[in-house]
């Protein structure tokens, strides 16, 4: 019996040590990635609460909605899109989590969006990609979600939930006329997002 309990204790100890080694590996991998990543950040594509509060899209959206043209376009730059993402994402976080900043790496057909979340005195970078196929539609979608360099979408079914939320939001906007036009197409460009809207 003693040998049995001794073997169990050894097994538990090995599992605990293995978990600690794995956590240490993940921590140092994240820290090395973070140092490199933050050195390469383009400050012009960073959105904070202060910069977000200074951006007012009311005039642009009103001009888009009230235009007499049958087809109208709304172009939003990185800072403008970032301020909308900042406000939306920040509203979903609980009391103990704070959104520190948003950082966007834009390119044609794919934008990578980083968010720095703070809990107590700790901060972590999350990221996801937003993609648009080369067809005329308002459908955009996410393929991967990361914490630092670690792809967490392989272990958690977050991608489907995010894509469902995006699709439902676009349907809601179109069905309820929230921007005064039917959104026919969304284009992700190197420095902006362009929405094509037609009159109802």
Percent pLDDT > 90 in the chain is: 44
b vs e for 74-109, b when ≥16 Cβ sit within 10 Å of the residue's Cβ? bebebbbbbbbbbbeebeeeeeeeebebbbbbbeee
Predicted confidence (pLDDT) per residue in 5-44, tens digit: 656 677 777 777 777 777 777 778 888 999 999 999 998 8
Convert 90-124 into a string of H (helix), E (strand) and C (coil). Answer: HHHCCCCEEEEEEEEECCCCEEEEEEEEEECCEEE
Residue labelled with tokens 């991608």: 159
In this predicted model, which residue has the larger pLDDT, 127 or 91?
Answer: 127
Query: Residue 75 corresponds to which tokens in the numbers above?
Result: 């172009």
In degrees, rounded to 5, the angle at the alpha carbon of residue 173 between the alpha carbons of residues 68 and 58 is 60
Looking at the predicted structure, is the pLDDT value of residue 75 above 90? yes
Q: E strand or H helix at 75, and its extent? A: strand 71-77
Delimit the domains of the chain by residue range. Answer: 1-40, 43-198
Q: Which of 11-15, 108-112, 121-125 ranks highest by mean pLDDT?
A: 108-112
Element (H, E) at 42: none
Whether the per-residue pLDDT at 97 is higher than 90: the answer is no
What is the CA 113 to chain-centroid distance, rounded? Answer: 5
The whole-model pTM stands at 0.84
């Amino acid at each position: 019996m003693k040998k049995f309990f001794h073997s169990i204790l050894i097994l538990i100890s090995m599992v605990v040590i293995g978990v600690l080694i794995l956590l240490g590996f993940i921590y140092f991998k994240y820290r090395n990635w973070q140092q490199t990543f933050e050195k390469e950040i383009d400050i012009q594509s960073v959105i904070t609460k202060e910069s977000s509060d200074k951006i007012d899209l009311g005039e642009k959206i009103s001009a888009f909605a009230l235009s007499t043209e049958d087809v109208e376009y709304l172009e939003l730059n990185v800072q403008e899109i970032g301020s909308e993402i900042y406000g939306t994402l920040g509203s979903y976080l609980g009391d103990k989590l704070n959104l520190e900043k948003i950082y966007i790496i834009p390119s044609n057909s794919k934008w990578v969006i980083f968010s720095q979340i703070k809990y107590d005195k700790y901060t972590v970078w999350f990221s996801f990609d937003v993609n648009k196929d080369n067809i005329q539609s308002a459908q955009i979608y996410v393929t991967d979600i990361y914490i630092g360099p670690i792809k967490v979408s392989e272990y958690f079914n977050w991608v489907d939930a995010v894509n469902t939320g995006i699709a439902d939001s676009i349907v809601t906007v179109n069905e309820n006329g929230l921007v005064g036009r039917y959104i026919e197409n969304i284009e992700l460009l190197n420095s902006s997002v362009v929405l094509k809207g037609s009159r109802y």
